[in-house]
Copies of this chain bind each other. A is one copy, B any other.
């Protein structure tokens, strides 16, 4: 009888959300798993966008696409007034979970649907209109950089540079967007404030029994693209001491990045290399060039700085000992980056009003809200994720946690529409 009991505690609005959520989770579904594969501007991305447009239109939201493929749903109840914008991204990493980003778009959509219904009864308190966004290419797996759509929207990345970015098969963002008919001409949305909700990509909320995480800052980070240059040689016959093996040099950096972590307290430093490409990548050829991405992340800028210096000492040593040349071809670093206190306070008031366990959390991952918060008052929320599993087919957030997030976000959007922040 558990099923019936559960049914009894779900409201009609909860059922509506879960029903749309179940449909959306099928786009790009990976057979035999609960996960998805719907990279930016892929066929699956095109399909979910078409479905999403119809969903928005069914509730009288007008659908627009801007020149970088951000998809907007607008409901203009107060002609000429600015918009409260809320959303996230529907694109995924290759073979990843169905919640990352997509939950944020669907929660925003239902929050706006609910507030829109309220406004149709009584619009007297409203100061702003409602807008939902599905940002293009937040993941950055097919086209770099990540957060491409929100970066162009906030003028941090030139449109022309984004559109000419190529994937590994040489297809441009422009052509990929055109192939799914998702490049438009919409421009110039007047945004009053922005809210985003996302599954936590970590396990602290689950461990601490927190229902709503209120994001107060992003971790500091230093990200590198290294190019290791060696020299092609026969991998069998060339004397070992005469080799200049780019893959050996790169492997030493991958190992060194991991071992750096041991020089700090647990949790102080996260390091990673997720992408590494070898040329010519042939069984009997010593590699002449390897490109790899190495990230250092920490809540503390001092830790990042110390880790950076240690990594550069390793780079010097590897160059000397393995006779390779190592360049930093791109790097990008930022300090710990706070979210505005006013938004944090509003989210806290809502959580208390709804009697939800809440706490401040930092985000290690970047989000589109990281771009938006530099322009407009912004709120970033998390719901828990089982075991913190992320960028993995088995990513899971329980239905009850999803629904609590939608409820919280609805109350946030209601306040924002009424002029809070």
Contact = CB atoms under 8 A, between A and B. Distances in A.
Contacts of A270: 236-240
A284 B100 CA distance: 13
A272 interface: yes
A275 B286 contact: no
Nearest to A276: B278
Contact of A202 (B232, B239, B364): B239
A241 B266 contact: yes
A139 B390 contact: no
Contact of A236 (B200, B201, B276, B277): B201
A223 B295 CA distance: 33
B390 A234 contact: yes
Interface string A352-382: 0000000000011110000000000000000
Contacts of A275: 278, 281-283
A266 B240 CA distance: 8
Nearest to A248: B258
A201 B284 CA distance: 12
Interface stretch (A125-133, A140-148, A157-165, A403-411): A140-148
A363 B93 CA distance: 46
A274 to B, nearest CB: 4
A285 interface: yes
A252 interface: yes
A141 B283 contact: yes
A96 interface: yes
Interface residues of A, number: 71
A42 interface: no
A287 B391 CA distance: 10
Contacts of A94: 280, 282
Interface string A291-324: 0010101000000000000000000000000000
Contacts of A201: 234, 236-238
A78 interface: no
Copies in the complex: 2
Contact of A233 (B282, B283, B392): B392
A388 interface: yes
Interface string A199-239: 01111000000000000000101010000000111111111
Nearest to A97: B232
Contacts of A250: 251
A416 interface: no
A281 B232 CA distance: 23
Interface in A39-96: 93-96
B141 A285 contact: yes
Given A94-B280, A245-B258, A277-B281, A236 B365 contact: yes
Nearest to A255: B251
A421 interface: no
A235 B364 CA distance: 10
Given A201-B236, A237-B364, A245-B272, 20 more contacts: A140-B283, A202-B238, A234-B390, A236-B272, A236-B295, A236-B365, A238-B270, A240-B261, A240-B271, A242-B388, A247-B254, A247-B273, A247-B276, A248-B255, A250-B251, A251-B255, A274-B285, A276-B281, A282-B391, A283-B293
15 contacts: A93-B285, A141-B284, A146-B283, A201-B237, A202-B237, A202-B238, A203-B239, A232-B393, A238-B388, A240-B266, A248-B254, A251-B251, A274-B284, A275-B283, A284-B365
